[in-house]
Amino acid sequence: MTVPHPRLTLTDEVRAALHDGRPVVALESTIISHGMPYPQNVEMATQVEEIVREGGAVPATVAVLHGRPCVGLTPAQLELLATSKDVTKASVRDLAYVMARGGHGATTVAATMRLAALAGISVFVTGGIGGVHRGAPVTFDISADLTELAATDVAVISAGVKSILDIGLTLETLETLGVPVLGYGTDDFPAFYSRSSGFPSPMRVDSAREIAAVMHARWDLGISGGVSVANPVPEADEIPASRMDGIIEQALDEMEKAGISGKAATPYLLGRIVELTDGASLRTNIALVKNNARLGARIATEYAGCST
């Protein structure tokens, strides 16, 4: 049984599941507000919640609404995140500020991990994690997702790291931070839109049960920090790296010319890539999040000891 932090607002469904030790899967909200256009964003969020339910777990989308950190959202709250212009992209450093002002915040991987952990949730599904940006040796632009993975006991299921980032430096940094990176059913670390990044997966697992065993082993021993699970996009939905490379180069080039950097970088690039691929990248993005939700529900079920 888990007692969530008293400052959190939980839905009755999430509170009851946590109380009973039933599987719960956290979901982020930056992907809704800043990662995809409307209405695909709210459709994706709703369908992903359904997939988690079909998998036997309770979905808990995380966001700050009217200054309150919420774990589990209503359909109306998902719609607000998907449509409102008054939603701040909130990483860990932004949480307190958004709360103090009574505003709305869509939580990144880092902020979602932190709030999930405070609620007592151990499994979190997203699309792609942030990482070390290209040019980071000069700009120092390294996502707080990585430092959060170093610190917070949550397993994060993603489709790997997009090549808008420096994938090699991201993997090196995760190693330095002591974060296990598990390739699910693959020896190749996946690159979000593509099944292979050209970098080997540091560790390989082939079942949800093995992933749950890694989580138990790490945290039972008192090693704090997350576990990164990299689940390749299904073959039918992938865009080969050879096709993405030129598009990503163009988007990065245009971003530099437009003088966009910092927290605006990832949302800009995602939006531009959707345009440059005529929507194909959005279809791939939605497909891989759903694929991650199916795996996340299985991991949460195994971890809770509820598998049959």
Task: List CB contacts of 21: < 8 A, sequence separation 6 or more.
Answer: 1, 2, 304
Nearest to 17 by CA among 281, 271, 297, 308: 297
* Least distance to Mn ion, CB of residue 159, Å: 20
What DSSP state is assigned to residue 237? G
Residue tagged 């992209």 (tokens): 89
Q: What residue 52 binds from ligand PSU, Mn ion, none (CB within 5 to 8 A, per partner kind)?
A: none
Q: Within the chain, what is the greatest distance between any pair of CA atoms?
A: 55
Between 40-54 and 75-83, two packed helices, what is the crossing angle to 10 degrees? 150
Q: Six-digit token pair at 29?
A: 């909200």
If the CB atoms of residues 35 and 302 are measured against ligand PSU, the closer one turns out to be 35
Per-residue contact string for residues 103-142; x = within reach of Mn ion by CB under 5 A: --------------------------------------x-
* 217 in a known ligand binding site: no
- Around 160, how many Cα atoms within 13 Å sit in the side-chain half-sphere? 33
* 144 in a known ligand binding site: yes
| DSSP 3-state of 48 | helix
Q: Which residues bind ligand PSU (CB under 6 A)?
A: 28, 30-31, 35, 91, 108-109, 127-128, 130, 143-145, 162, 263, 266, 270
If the CB atoms of residues 94 and 141 are measured against Mn ion, the closer one turns out to be 141
Q: What residue 94 binds from Mn ion, ligand PSU, none (CB within 5 to 8 A, per partner kind)?
A: none
Instruction: Give the residue at shortest CB distance from ligand PSU.
Output: 35
- Strand 24-27 to strand 87-90: parallel, antiparallel, or no bridges (unpaired)? unpaired
* Least distance to ligand PSU, CB of residue 4, Å: 22
* Least distance to Mn ion, CB of residue 97, Å: 17
Query: Segment 140-159, which members bind Mn ion (CB under 5 A)?
Result: 141
If the CB atoms of residues 57 and 161 are measured against ligand PSU, the closer one turns out to be 161
Task: Assess contact for 115 and 71: CB atoms under 8 A.
Answer: yes
How open is the CA angle 276-259-81, to the nearest 5 degrees? 65
Q: Total binding residues for Mn ion by CB under 5 A?
A: 1
* 290 in a known ligand binding site: no
* Least distance to ligand PSU, CB of residue 53, Å: 22
In three-state form (DSSP H/G/I as H, E/B as E, the rest C), the secondary structure along 81-97 is HHHCCCEEEECHHHHHH
* Least distance to ligand PSU, CB of residue 118, Å: 17
* 145 in a known ligand binding site: yes
Between 144-151 and 167-176, two packed helices, what is the crossing angle to 10 degrees? 30
If the CB atoms of residues 241 and 264 are measured against Mn ion, the closer one turns out to be 264
* 141 in a known ligand binding site: yes
Task: Assess contact for 133 and 265: CB atoms under 8 A.
Answer: yes
If the CB atoms of residues 120 and 160 are measured against Mn ion, the closer one turns out to be 160
* Least distance to Mn ion, CB of residue 228, Å: 18
Q: Is 237 in the site for Mn ion (CB under 5 A)?
A: no
Provide the CA 161 distance to its chain's centre, in angstroms: 11
Between 241-258 and 265-276, two packed helices, what is the crossing angle to 10 degrees? 130
* 307 in a known ligand binding site: no
Residues annotated as catalytic are 28, 162
- Around 117, how many Cα atoms within 13 Å sit in the side-chain half-sphere? 20
Q: What residue 166 binds from ligand PSU, Mn ion, none (CB within 5 to 8 A, per partner kind)?
A: none
Which residue positions form the known binding site for substrate? 89, 109, 143-145
Residue positions forming the annotated binding site: 89, 109, 141, 143-145
Binding-site residues for Mn(2+), in ranges, read 141
